[in-house]
Amino acid sequence: MTIPRIIGAGLVVIGAGIGIGKIGGSAMDAIARQPDATAKIQTAMLIAAALIEGIGFAALFAVSE
């Protein structure tokens, strides 16, 4: 049972990493293009990252239980 769990945890982390990475990268691009909108972009970025993180943690707990 442990090895499928480890693989599952790895998959969860890869998925969440890709998701948050894309958000961060896009936010960087957006801030570079519109430095005046930094505050709004950061807020939106944090919310989106938190939502993905929540799902990632939920999946990690499902894997570790």
Partner 1 sequence: MYLCTKFQASKIMTIINMLFSGKNYRLIIAILIASIPVFGFANPADSVKVHVSAPHSETHQATGNAHDSHEPKDEQSQIRAYIDHHVLDSHDFNLFSDSKTGKHYGFPLPIILWDNGLHVFSSSKFEHGDAVAESNGNYYKLGHDEKIYKTDAAGTLTGDAHHPTNAKPLDFSITKSVLTLMGVSLLMFLLFSSLAKSYVKNGGISAGFGRIFEPLVIYIRDEIAIPNIGEKHYKKYMSYLLTIFFFVWFLNIFGLTPLGINVTGNIAITFGLAIITFLITNLTAKKSYWGHIFWMPGVPLPMKIILAPIELLGVFIKPFSLMIRLYANIIAGHVVLMSLIALIFIFKSWFGGTLSFLLSFAISTIEILVALLQAYIFTMLSALYFGSAVEEHHHDEAHH
Rounded to whole angstroms, the Cα distance separating 61 from 27 reads 29
Rounded to whole angstroms, the Cα distance separating 57 from 32 reads 31
Contact between 13 and partner 1 (CB under 8 A)?
Answer: no
Report the 3 state secondary structure along 3-37.
HHHHHHHHHHHHHHHHHHHHHHHHHHHHHHHCHHH
Between 28 and 50, name the residue whose CB sits nearer to partner 1: 50
Which one of 6-14, 19-27, 49-57 is the stretch in contact with partner 1 (CB under 8 A)?
A: 49-57
Contact between 51 and partner 1 (CB under 8 A)?
Answer: yes
Sites of contact with partner 1 (CB under 8 A): 36, 38-39, 42-43, 46-47, 50-51, 53-55, 57-58, 60-61
